[in-house]
Chain A
Amino acid sequence: GAVVSQHPSRVICKSGTSVKIECRSLDFQATTMFWYRQFPKQSLMLMATSNEGSKATYEQGVEKDKFLINHASLTLSTLTVTSAHPEDSSFYICSISGAGGPADTQYFGPGTRLTVL
């Protein structure tokens, strides 16, 4: 399967600051990237879907002005958590599809643990 990296793997920040998380597809050109949030002992919650060169589609209840997504190329998508607050602390995971296998197969990154103090 495809190899997906995320950076940073964990970040601790103060309340009110912004944090950028990068998601890279290392060996495939990803037509679509997804961003998920996962709270402890819970399932993955889809936040948004982004296609290269177009605006992201956000799920209901996800603030697009707070979670900025940029999918500038077929190998890079970024998620910026703006004015982070403690309730934004979570495990953020990206995934890619269109990576050479079945179109609906998603390959996930290793995740980024965000802690907002």
Chain B
Amino acid sequence: QQQVKQSPQSLIVQKGGISIINCAYENTAFDYFPWYQQFPGKGPALLIAIRPDVSEKKEGRFTISFNKSAKQFSLHIMDSQPGDSATYFCAASGDAGNMLTFGGGTRLMVKP
């Protein structure tokens, strides 16, 4: 059973636009929510992460919004650039020994 649902599966955004990727989780024991960026043929790289004690975290052009009551969190990429074209994974952990549960991934393409 997939415990973290991610949408959309794919996303096309024009350069300069805002990319928004959403995730929803079921396990209320989760207390750490990272986002990873993965380029083809490479391992995932940690992008930004949030804990439930805050509703938003911003690092440069990347922002996580977190809604604890709805059990949802999202990644916003402002001023999207072609170099942001990659697959993005949300994840969650907290219930068992640092294990991460991943969403299904979103393939983002930013058109010039």
Contacts and interface: CB of A to CB of B under 8 A. Distances in A.
Closest 10 CB pairs of A and B: A108-B43, A104-B98, A111-B43, A110-B43, A104-B32, A97-B98, A108-B44, A104-B93, A43-B102, A43-B105
Nearest to B45: A108
B41 A113 contact: yes
Nearest to A98: B98
Interface of B: 32, 34, 36, 41-46, 49, 89, 93-94, 97-100, 102-105, 107
28 contacts: A32-B97, A34-B99, A34-B100, A42-B104, A42-B105, A43-B103, A43-B105, A44-B44, A49-B97, A49-B99, A91-B41, A93-B44, A97-B98, A102-B49, A103-B98, A104-B32, A104-B93, A104-B98, A104-B100, A105-B34, A105-B46, A105-B49, A106-B46, A106-B100, A108-B36, A108-B43, A108-B44, A111-B42
Given A102-B32, A113-B41, A44 B89 contact: yes
- Looking at chain B's contact residues, the main secondary structure is loop
Nearest to A32: B98
Size category, A interface:
20 to 34
Contacts of B94: 104
A68 interface: no
A43 B98 contact: no
B91 to A, nearest CB: 8
Nearest to B36: A108
B67 to A, nearest CB: 20
A107 interface: yes
Contacts of A6: 43
